[in-house]
Structure 1
């Protein structure tokens, strides 16, 4: 994903200046759910800012702050982020269709992928030991 993609504007305009070079590290498949998240967060807190969005161990990491003193605002903000993280955990990072957590055997990277994209790079479904 090119971070200059116009779909990312609702997120990009919230990035804190110190994070401008490092804020995005996700595949195309999560863009729509992240745009919905940004829209929802804007209804919770008009002044929220974003530090970083990335895929880490096949999960969505979303670092943002509502910049609000009201504990209810913080709670609602955090709850909405958790909802998006839950949605991402079953959404292919590449294309946005349903996916599951997988591991790439050679690198050990964890990714959430649909079967089609898993087959393309030779991942295995992750199983708890």
Structure 2
């Protein structure tokens, strides 16, 4: 799923939303918005302020009004789960991965050590790196 498909699928929730990250986290957001779409009452209002990558993980800044506090708690739990799942998911390809350099100033959110590996260990990782290289116009250090 792409981010554009996500916006179409959840048009009522994502009227004015934009995404500041790559398509790899779209499935995580799909699961998150499915919870909101299911639990939000017809008179409830959901507003996305920002969805972005920060410090190598997904951040969702949103608010809910016109709903019971229990619903707000369910949405908060779903948000925390989505953000936690992003730590182990490549932002570019959506496959399992690990965050490189989590303690440095520069966070490698494309997961150069992406766990999408064939037995030879390099083909899928190379594809993810090539995507990153094309988008950023940068050279990457060897893994």
Give the TM-score, by structure 2 length.
0.66
The question of 1:38 aligning with 2:57 is answered no
Greater relative contact order structure (CA < 8 Å, 6+ sep): 1
Q: Find the partner of 1:60 among 41, 45, 58.
A: 58
Gaps of 5+ in 2: 116-124, 134-139
Q: Find the partner of 1:92 among 81, 90, 93.
A: 90
Let me know the Cα RMSD of the aligned residues.
2.9
The question of 1:122 aligning with 2:121 is answered no
Give the secondary-structure state (helix, strand or coil) at the position aligned to 2:48.
strand
Count of residue correspondences: 116
Greater shift, 77-86 or 38-47, is seen at 38-47
Give the TM-score, by structure 1 length.
0.72
Classify 1:12/1:50 alpha carbon distance in 2 versus 1 (closer, same or farther; 3 Å).
farther
Larger Cα-atom Rg: 2
Are 2:40 and 2:67, in contact at CA under 8 Å, matched by a contact in 1?
Answer: no
- Alpha-carbon separation, structure 2, partners of 1:56 and 1:15: 20
Are 1:16 and 1:51, in contact at CA under 8 Å, matched by a contact in 2?
Answer: no
- Alpha-carbon separation, structure 2, partners of 1:123 and 1:41: 41
Structure 1 residue runs of 4 or more that deviate by more than 6 Å after TM superposition: none
Gaps of 5+ in 1: 125-129
Compare the two structures and name the one with the higher strand fraction.
1
Greater shift, 36-45 or 63-72, is seen at 63-72
Q: C-alpha displacement at 1:45, in angstroms?
A: 1.5
